[in-house]
Structure 1
Amino acid sequence: MTSLSVAAAGAAADAVAAHVPALVTDRVASRIFAQDPTLWGTAAEEEAAKRLSWVGLARTSRHLVGEVSALRDELREQGVDRVVLCGMGGSSLAPEVICATEGVPLVVLDSSHPDVVRGATADLERTVVVVSSKSGSTVETDSQRRVFEQAFTDAGIDPATRIVVVTDPGSPLEEDARAKGQRVVTADPQVGGRYSALTAFGLVPSGLAGADIEALLDDAESVADLLAEDDDANPALRLGAAMAGTAPLRDKLYLVDHGTEAKGLGDWAEQLIAESTGKEGTGLLPVVLDSPGGSDVPRDATIARLVPTDGDESDPAAPSTVDVGGSLGAQFLLWETATAVAGRLLGINPFDQPDVESAKQAARDLMSGDAGTASDAGVTDGPVTISHLGGDWIGGATTVADAVAALLGQLDPEHGYVAVMAYLDREGDAPFAEVADALAERVHRPVTFGWGPRFLHSTGQYHKGGPATGVYVQVTEEPQQDLAVPGRDFTLGEFISAQAGGDAQVLADHGRPVLVLHLTDHEAGLARVTEALRGGHA
């Protein structure tokens, strides 16, 4: 039998004791599973009314098991066993953790970097591409789809036989895909993207890659009644209270891998929590750590230790800790419910993402020429061009090291955080992410690391909608070779540049200081930036 465990200690335990009885009295758990949209206030009611079907997905998604299995068998008979997923945010993060946990290969393409997209078009003879977009109008996935359609055609392969579209019914993508003869699987439109792990968005690519999606649904269904109970022992009420009920609010949530079987769970939970709660000047900032050690934990943080299913209890001496264990399907439903509970405690709508669109619009303005330059002309330090936004805080800095020091000088030592946003190759430049731990030790404050444009659909909402306590380092580069988007009047290089520039501009418009470091020579520039962030001089 699937089990869930949530054990809190310190301030997190105090929050559980303070809030869970009222949550039980108010029947919050049962009302969530009854899809009651009034739980988050009048302003949220309209959105919540069309975003709560995720509570029943363990049952309503069952029809996908046979459909996906049949399609997988058909493709395997043709020698097609490589699955590429084109998706952003909730459309890609759940399949990534599902497949990593089960040890089945899945290529996740959640970038508009031309070198990355081009690299994903390898091995076409054995490739099926899943294009996932809830709205059907996401520019990243539309561009990726167009590139693959052209690549298949050039290779003499009918794109209609190798592209599977997952989208909401009635979307522009559904209409276009059906007209082209491509396979279409529609998802439940009453589920938001970041709550869609157990919809077609999570299950279709995972099942095609070879994951056991029926077992995943079984795991979720086995805990659904438990999570719907108005009871002090409800794990979702306890986790939601530990996350959002500390007094004063510990608004940094460290998601630490402590031996969980769910590989990459922290990255999935990061998007769910940051985008759901980071708005109206409040929210919870997830900080994902791959191992228990290596970073200071500040006084305004709670540690969520992702433990094995039968993990140990939390350390009672810890300042604020919550241990969370369970199988992956069960944890999907647990964290979704807990995040909805946290939204109620924070007094916000956990189902909208008002500041994600602002960055998209700024990118569109830059693409159309309707906006000014996103940053100042900058100065050059060898292989790096330095520019900044959000005030005159940079002073006379002319080196990367001095510019980084000036940015960190803006950091609030009690409540601040640093966000490193890298518009680079997530796989090829993977070692660069390790700079986050070194920077955290340097500043003794939380440091998040996001790959662009992936993070725009995740922590990007918190950056702009959450508390104004962050300082931001954006790293961009010139692609080795640009890539035209078939049927569009822009290249991927132009698009990712506009995405970075648009996000930086919106951050600056919100009064956030942004340091932009542009690599004109990839290897030398990245080495210089890495050294500067670590605290040295290249």
Structure 2
Amino acid sequence: MVSATGSAADAVSQHVPTLVADAVASRLSAQDATLWGPDAEAEASVRLGWTALHETSRALLEPLQALCEELREEGVDRVVLAGMGGSSLAPEVIAGTAGAQLVVLDSTQPDQVARALGGDLARTVLVVSSKSGGTVETDSQRRAFEAAFTEAGIDAASRIVVVTDPGSPLAATAAEAGYRAVFEADPHVGGRFSALTAFGLVPSALAGVDVAALLDEAAAVAPFFAEDTEANPALVLGAALAGTQPLRDKIVITDVGSGLFHFGDWAEQLVAESTGKQGTGLLPVVADDQAPELTHLAADVLPVALCPLAGEGVEGTAPSPDDVDLENANLEEWAAGVLDATEVTVAGGLGAMFLLWEHAVAIAGRLLGIDPFDQPNVESAKEATRGLLESTPAPEPPAFADSGVEVRGSSALLSGVETVDEAVAALLDTLDPEHGYVAVMAYLDREGRPAELLGGTRAALAARTGRPVTFGWGPRFLHSTGQLHKGGAPVGVFLQVTGEPEARVEIPGRDFDFATLISAQAAGDARVLTEEGRPVLRLHATTSEALAWLAGVLAGPAR
């Protein structure tokens, strides 16, 4: 399942024997909360339920099957998921890998919200997924759908299914409103480790996925991850990710035919939120196999290739766990014909891959000396957003405008700058040429024209700077790489892109709409990054034509 070469192989040789001697694998599977030191023990003691989900989540299967049959009999076959972070990323991967239709609403961008609301409500069930229910995005989406169902003459309560933690405010709201069903997730599992909890399984099952088979895949490999042996794939991957010397802390994840739908996006959140804190962390960069970061490999970049299992073609779907030879699969030989420079190759069925990466990242946390289960900087952007929504200050005036693009940033960054091109150059000039990275943060419609216009931006900036570049859709990335941006090493430079939505969507019971909400989220995130001393350039396209022009500027020539 895992192969390491080069410096990653050196890291495996150095660290895995110690991990085996310390019985890390068996202790992790036994939910030993002492593995990450005394400072992390309290948090870890209530966050290790994910190691047994392939067994404990089976109690969900019977009630899920019953609900699926009820909804199909009623002609309800369009599933919309309102959730953020771990509540949406795993179901998106699960449904996409199975070829099932699931509308994932993990944004407050008005055009995306309007598109989800504009589907056939007569055939729609809404899954509201939130551990607490206090997540502003998910609560706003729930309110909008509840009103839309009612306006369409549909009993809203009969079309809303809730996934939450036991005793949460959302559970109380669901009980009071009489929602169709409430599925309780294991409260001892954090959001980014929740793929095999109700958060991953409920929306996927309603969309038609055989989630019992997913649990079977995980169960088939779980014994391997509990073994204190040097062949344990989780120990190998954990050591490769976090044990290189000097640390290759930019993890470029590329898919070369794994058969898994957008698995890198799920792994991005797991790695970034788990490791990005205390001034350290691993920056995941999701890219294709022609990415500039792989063409010209920097000293701090670790390529990780998601590969098909042995015997599968590049376009094939991963076989079942029964077909996998964990001992003899030669991924090094296979990958040699796919990538010019490969340090780590990983392969497996989806259930196995979820469990593998969760174990490996927990092990990586031990090697990095951090608590992989907390996210101390995630709340800061939320607090800034709440403050802006409550006080509703006047918009910050731009430093200047150029071709319909408003430019904002610190006076130091924009001193002497008069054009967008100069502003972008000024931001990139602050980039550490040996250790830095660029983060593009687009608070735009990730399913519409902005996605087409900005599709080449990440690679263009990577070629231009010779440094790793991440691309995140806001506010989605706030529940993923947003933690690492603020809590990781202070070597990032940040380019925020916003625009004017076409749709206007109200949020029932709130004195702000979705346009105001996403604007506050963007401004709040920029404020926190600036307060943390990170360079931030904010570019706001006032029209779709201005956004198209801006995309051309960002796709400037390589240096």
- The equivalent of 1:188 in structure 2 is 186
Cα distance per residue 1:483-518 (max 9 Å; x no partner): 221011211111111110010011001110111001
- Once the 2 structures are TM-superposed, how far is the Cα of residue 392 of structure 1 from its aligned partner? 0.5
- 1:272 and 1:103 mapped to 2: Cα distance? 23
User: CA contact under 8 A between 1:281 and 1:467: conserved in structure 2?
Assistant: yes
Question: Quick one: which of 200, 217, 242 aligns to 2:215?
Answer: 217
Question: Quick one: which of 455, 461, 472 aligns to 2:494?
Answer: 472
* Aligned amino acid, residue 140 of structure 1: E
- Once the 2 structures are TM-superposed, how far is the Cα of residue 315 of structure 1 from its aligned partner? 4.2
- 2:420 and 2:433 mapped to 1: Cα distance? 22
Alignment of 1:67-86 (within 5 A): 67-86=63-82
- 2:174 and 2:154 mapped to 1: Cα distance? 16
- Once the 2 structures are TM-superposed, how far is the Cα of residue 439 of structure 1 from its aligned partner? 1.2
1:379 aligns with 2:376: no
1:535 aligns with 2:526: no
- Once the 2 structures are TM-superposed, how far is the Cα of residue 174 of structure 1 from its aligned partner? 0.4
- 2:430 and 2:396 mapped to 1: Cα distance? 18
TM-score, normalised on structure 2?
Answer: 0.92
* Aligned amino acid, residue 65 of structure 2: S
- Once the 2 structures are TM-superposed, how far is the Cα of residue 297 of structure 1 from its aligned partner? 3.0
User: CA contact under 8 A between 1:401 and 1:536: conserved in structure 2?
Assistant: no
1:312 aligns with 2:331: yes
1:33 aligns with 2:29: yes
* Aligned amino acid, residue 287 of structure 2: L
Question: Quick one: which of 366, 377, 384 aligns to 1:362?
Answer: 384
- The equivalent of 1:245 in structure 2 is 243
- 2:176 and 2:30 mapped to 1: Cα distance? 38
User: CA contact under 8 A between 2:457 and 2:555: conserved in structure 1?
Assistant: yes
| Segment drifting more, 380-389 vs 136-145 | 380-389
- 1:243 and 1:289 mapped to 2: Cα distance? 17
Alignment of 1:235-384 (within 5 A): 235-295=233-293, 296-310=296-310, 312-313=331-332, 314-315=335-336, 321-369=343-391, 377-384=398-405
- 1:415 and 1:237 mapped to 2: Cα distance? 26
1:105 aligns with 2:127: no
Question: Quick one: which of 14, 21, 27 aligns to 2:17?
Answer: 21
- The equivalent of 2:526 in structure 1 is 504
Unaligned runs of 5+ in 1: none
What is the aligned-residue RMSD (CA, Å)?
1.7
1:174 aligns with 2:171: yes
- 2:200 and 2:476 mapped to 1: Cα distance? 17
- The equivalent of 2:442 in structure 1 is 422
- The equivalent of 2:130 in structure 1 is 133
Report SS of the residue matched to 2:239.
Answer: helix
- 2:397 and 2:53 mapped to 1: Cα distance? 48
- 1:468 and 1:376 mapped to 2: Cα distance? 27
- Once the 2 structures are TM-superposed, how far is the Cα of residue 281 of structure 1 from its aligned partner? 0.4
User: CA contact under 8 A between 1:388 and 1:516: conserved in structure 2?
Assistant: yes
- The equivalent of 1:163 in structure 2 is 160
- Once the 2 structures are TM-superposed, how far is the Cα of residue 22 of structure 1 from its aligned partner? 0.4
- Once the 2 structures are TM-superposed, how far is the Cα of residue 64 of structure 1 from its aligned partner? 1.4
- 2:98 and 2:218 mapped to 1: Cα distance? 16
Report SS of the residue matched to 1:392.
Answer: helix
Report SS of the residue matched to 2:455.
Answer: helix
Q: 1:16 to 1:375 in 2, by over 3 A?
A: farther
1:413 aligns with 2:411: no
- Once the 2 structures are TM-superposed, how far is the Cα of residue 135 of structure 1 from its aligned partner? 1.8
Cα distance per residue 1:52-96 (max 9 Å; x no partner): 000000000012122212111111111111110000000000000
- 2:197 and 2:67 mapped to 1: Cα distance? 17
* Aligned amino acid, residue 251 of structure 1: D
User: CA contact under 8 A between 1:362 and 1:506: conserved in structure 2?
Assistant: yes
User: CA contact under 8 A between 2:157 and 2:178: conserved in structure 1?
Assistant: yes
User: CA contact under 8 A between 2:26 and 2:226: conserved in structure 1?
Assistant: yes
- Once the 2 structures are TM-superposed, how far is the Cα of residue 292 of structure 1 from its aligned partner? 4.4
The percentage of counterpart residues that share the same residue type is 60
User: CA contact under 8 A between 1:220 and 1:330: conserved in structure 2?
Assistant: yes
- 1:153 and 1:140 mapped to 2: Cα distance? 20
- The equivalent of 1:514 in structure 2 is 536
Q: 1:375 to 1:408 in 2, by over 3 A?
A: farther
Question: Quick one: which of 139, 142, 145 aligns to 1:145?
Answer: 142
Report SS of the residue matched to 1:407.
Answer: helix
User: CA contact under 8 A between 2:192 and 2:270: conserved in structure 1?
Assistant: yes
Cα distance per residue 1:326-352 (max 9 Å; x no partner): 000000000000000000000000000
- 1:37 and 1:276 mapped to 2: Cα distance? 15
* Aligned amino acid, residue 226 of structure 2: A
- Once the 2 structures are TM-superposed, how far is the Cα of residue 226 of structure 1 from its aligned partner? 0.5
TM-score, normalised on structure 1?
Answer: 0.96
- 2:47 and 2:247 mapped to 1: Cα distance? 27
- 1:41 and 1:95 mapped to 2: Cα distance? 32
1:403 aligns with 2:399: no
Cα distance per residue 1:164-218 (max 9 Å; x no partner): 0000011100001111110211100000000000000000000000111011000
| Segment drifting more, 312-321 vs 100-109 | 312-321
- 2:61 and 2:386 mapped to 1: Cα distance? 39
- 1:218 and 1:496 mapped to 2: Cα distance? 40
User: CA contact under 8 A between 2:336 and 2:342: conserved in structure 1?
Assistant: no
- 1:293 and 1:383 mapped to 2: Cα distance? 31
- The equivalent of 1:55 in structure 2 is 51
User: CA contact under 8 A between 1:9 and 1:319: conserved in structure 2?
Assistant: no
- Once the 2 structures are TM-superposed, how far is the Cα of residue 433 of structure 1 from its aligned partner? 3.1
| Segment drifting more, 267-276 vs 373-382 | 373-382
Q: 1:375 to 1:269 in 2, by over 3 A?
A: farther
* Aligned amino acid, residue 204 of structure 1: V
- 1:24 and 1:123 mapped to 2: Cα distance? 54
- Once the 2 structures are TM-superposed, how far is the Cα of residue 377 of structure 1 from its aligned partner? 3.1
- 2:280 and 2:510 mapped to 1: Cα distance? 39
